[in-house]
Each structure stands twice: as structure tokens, then as C-alpha cells.
Amino acid sequence: MTDAESLVKLDVEHLLLPVLVQLAVIIAAARLFGALARRVGQPSVVGEIVAGLLLGPSLLGWLYPELFTSVFKPTLEGMSQPLADAMLPKVFTVISQFGLIFLMFLVGLELEPRHVRESGPAVVLISLAGLAVPFALGTALTFLIHPHLEPHPTAGPVPLVGVSLFVGLTLSITAIPVLGRIMMELGITRTRLGAVTLAAAGLSDAVGWVLLASITALLKSNFQMIETLRMVGLTVAFALFMWFFVRPVLVRYFAFSLRENGGRLSATALAVMLVCVLLASVATNLIGIFAVFGAFLLGAVLSDQTELQRAAHAKLHDIVTSFFVPVFFTYTGLRTDISSLHGGAMWFICSAVVAAAVLGKLAGCGLAARLSGFTWKEAGIIGAMMNARGLMALIAINIGYELGVVPRSLFCVLVIMALATTMLTTPLLLLLRKGTEFEDAIARSGFLGNLPSAPAVAVTPEESHADSSKRITTNS
């Protein structure tokens, strides 16, 4: 029987059973380790990635190979094992992509370009330096890394230019959802340093998405300039269409619907929102870049609609962050096989990548902050906060893997880098806090456990929304 015939004859229940088992294990492990991570002062994403590493070939598959195989590589009745092993990961990739689509819509809704206008040139300088310096270090480092990389499991030998672009991009970006989460837990979101860093991270995030979309278009077109220009041109045209035609219609519709339903999304309005998110994702998929860009763009063009932000958060946040996103983070960990870092050379490469990532942000953002008038300690704090990567880096890493330019060993290296830099953020802030405005703010937050919590203060509705809106991506 051919693979096509066995797939046609496959009983849906036989496919559903291992998917249900894996989902139950992944979600339970993600929530457990996410909670444990928060107890030790780390964002949930750290625990969710660690959960995937522990469940994957790096630990469970090494200690208990039979149990690992029975859960994550089960046999499917009437189907060859290679086909089953290829099909189940695709199922979970689709599930996690749905999570990313809706998450990036919510992230787009939370863009606040006014921060860039209010904070002035310092934000632009810090953001651009924090992109340029790590990108340069990453691309330069790739020339040393490339000879040690194995072929991609499906795409074959990896191109030097493609690897360079993705390593540089992954090292240069900052994940504002993770940074916002850390800052909220430390009680520093309303400080001067916090506001400037959040604005710089927001600008860095936006530029990072443009770079990721551009690099994706370049690689998907196989470096054919005409095809690349076509993709970029269509993307710009789509963005203009969304702003000038789609946005006015949706603003009027959702304003009317929210007014009629007491500020809540009705079932019909929610359906309209979901259809728009999916259609925007379809558009960027057809253009040739990834579907998540369309969802992000739709959220971005509606980011000034405060009531819509609140209503979308109320409807989508819990299911996205409790079900879909943990599947993405944990499955990223499951894809990561530490045993692929065989030999001292790969571990040296891993250490060099992590060092370049940390140094690039501390030096790039720190020097830019110092030139903008901050003290050396404040500049170090800004660099430490911009060092958090999390969600954005993981999306870039997974896109690079799907494009065939990030092989398994480099995938593992970059995941470790994203995890390490995210974990370093809070300890670095605590180390540098003394003598700055962060010292009192962190003490009042109660984060350190043995200090009193902050006294109650009056909060305006605008301030309350500013804080609550950042919770949209609390599990990112």
C-alpha cells in the first residue's frame, strides 16, 4: 500500500488519539513549568521552553526512549512509521501557527507609536544601535559557524547568506511582550527608564518585523531581485490597502458594535474579527511571506482603538495564551535536540553566539543610551532590558528552520541563546538597580519577597488601561 492510500484509509480517531495525548502532556507541562519559572522570577516563556526541552529528545528521549517514542512518535494503524513521524509534527505546527496568528494580532493591537514621538531621539538611537550592533556581530560570527553546520534535514546544504541573515536578525531583535512582562513583575513600567526602554523595544520590534518579512521574501524568491521586489511591493500595497480601505470600515463597525453591546464583542463581532484576521493572514501567505505578518498588520492598523483592544483581550487572551501559545513554545523545545551539539566546536559556537547576543545589546543599546544623556549604570540597565528576546527570536528561529536555512544544530544553538538572554534580564536588572530609580520601584513591588508591597495609589482610567493592555501577551 502506498503512503497516499494509507493516508486516505487512516481512521480519523487513530490520528486524533496521539494528538490528544500530546496536547494534554504539552499543555500540562507548559503550565506547570511556566508557573515554576514565575516563582523564580522568570517569565512563563522560559518555563514553557524548558518543558519542551525536558519532554524532547534532549532529556526524556535520552533517559526513557521507549516512553518518548510512545508519546511523541507513536505508530498509526496501516501507516508507515516515517510517514507517521512526518505527519504528526505538521499537525502541531499548524496548531502552533494558529496560535501565532492570533497572538500577533493581539501584539499588533498593542503597538503604541506615540511612545516613540514622546521619548524623542534617544528612543530611535537606542533602538537602531540595539539592532545594528548585534546584527553585525551575528553576521560576522556566521562566517566562522557555517563550515561546522550540517545540511538541513529537508533542504540540504544551508546557504551562507541565508544563515548569516537569520543569525544576525535573531541576535538583533528584542521581544517587547517578554520585556513588558518582566517590567510589570518588577513594578518598573512607569519609571523614566522603563518608558524609554519600552518605547525603544517597541520600535525595535516593529523594525524587526519589517526585516524578518524582507529577509523571508528575499529567501523565498531565491535571491531573485525581481521576485523579491514583487513581494515587497505587494506587501507595501497590502499595508496601504489595509490602512486606507479596511481600517475605516472596521473602525466604524467595531465602534458601533461595541457601543451597542456595552463595550463587549458580540458573537457576530467576534466572528467578523476572526474572519478578518484569517483573511489578512491569507493575503500575506499568498504574497509569499508568512501568514503571521498579515495578522500583525491588521492589529497594527487598529492599534489606536482602545475599546477594541480591551474587548479583544477579554475574548481572545485566555485561549491564546493558555492553549495555542504554550503549544508553540513547548513544541519549539521539543524540536530542540541538545545532542545535536556534538563535539567541543559546537559548544564553543553556542557560547560564542550567546556572548555575541549579550554583548551586542549591552554595548549597542548601552552606548547609545550613554550618548543620549543617561548615566553608565542607567545605560547598562537599558542594555540589559533590551537583551530579552523570547517570542520574537523564537518566531524568527522557527521561520528560518521552515525556510531551510537553520539546520538542527543551529536551531538548538539559537533556542539556547533566546532562553539564556531572556533568563539573564531579571538578574542583570537586580544587579544594576542600586542607586537608580529602579531600586525603590522594585522594593515597592514586593518582587524580592522580603520587602513590603507598594502602597495603594490612585490610578486614572488611562493609566489602568495602559497597564492592563500590556497583559495581552503575558505568556509570551
> For residue range 213-244, what is the model confidence (pLDDT) as tens digits?
778 877 877 767 777 778 778 888 998 999 99
The answer to whether the beta carbons of residues 173 and 389 sit under 8 Å apart is yes
- Report pLDDT for 119: 58
Of 476, 440, 469, 465, nearest to 188 by C-alpha is 440
Q: How far is CA 256 from CA 191, 251, 253, 447, in A?
A: 36, 9, 5, 42
Ramachandran quadrant class, 82 (left: phi over 0; alpha: psi -120 to 50; beta: rest)? alpha
pLDDT over threshold 80, residue 347:
yes
Task: Count CB neighbours of 223 within 10 A.
Answer: 12
**Which secondary structure element, helix H or strand E, spans residue 309, and what is its range?**
helix 306-319
pLDDT over threshold 60, residue 469:
no
- Report pLDDT for 451: 39
Residue 152 three-state SS: strand
Our separate counts of H helices and E strands in the chain read 23, 0
- The residues spanned by each domain of the chain are 3-93, 94-473
- Grid cell locating 199: 518605547
214/64: higher pLDDT: 64
pLDDT over threshold 90, residue 45:
no
- Angstrom distance (rounded) from CA 320 to CA 334: 20
For residues 87-103, average pLDDT:
83
- Angstrom distance (rounded) from CA 10 to CA 80: 11
Of 141, 134, 118, 195, nearest to 169 by C-alpha is 134
Return the bridge partners of 156, or none.
152
Q: Which long-range contacts (CB under 8 A, 24 or more apart) does 242-245 make?
A: 242/280, 242/297, 242/298, 242/301, 243/301
- Report pLDDT for 24: 92
- Report pLDDT for 266: 93
- Angstrom distance (rounded) from CA 129 to CA 254: 39
Of 88, 90, 51, nearest to 73 by C-alpha is 88
**Mean of per-residue pLDDT scores for the chain:** 82
- Confidence band, pLDDT 50/70/90 cuts, at residue 246: very high
For residues 246-260, average pLDDT:
94
281/300: higher pLDDT: 281
For residues 416-424, average pLDDT:
88
For residues 385-413, average pLDDT:
85
100/383: higher pLDDT: 383
Domain 94-473: give its CATH code: 1.20.1530.20
- Report pLDDT for 21: 92
- Grid cell locating 359: 554583548
455/140: higher pLDDT: 140
Of 390, 331, 317, 323, nearest to 44 by C-alpha is 390
- Report pLDDT for 132: 93
pLDDT over threshold 80, residue 362:
yes
- Grid cell locating 74: 507513536
- Confidence band, pLDDT 50/70/90 cuts, at residue 473: very low
For residues 143-169, average pLDDT:
89
For residues 350-371, average pLDDT:
93
Q: How far is CA 209 from CA 271, 297, 325, in A?
A: 27, 10, 19
172/85: higher pLDDT: 172
For residues 327-346, average pLDDT:
78
Count how many residues are written for the chain.
476
Is the CA virtual torsion 214, 120, 298, 240 positive or negative?
negative
pLDDT over threshold 80, residue 181:
no
For residues 70-75, average pLDDT:
86
- Confidence band, pLDDT 50/70/90 cuts, at residue 367: very high
- Report pLDDT for 118: 58
Instruction: Say what the pTM is.
Output: 0.71
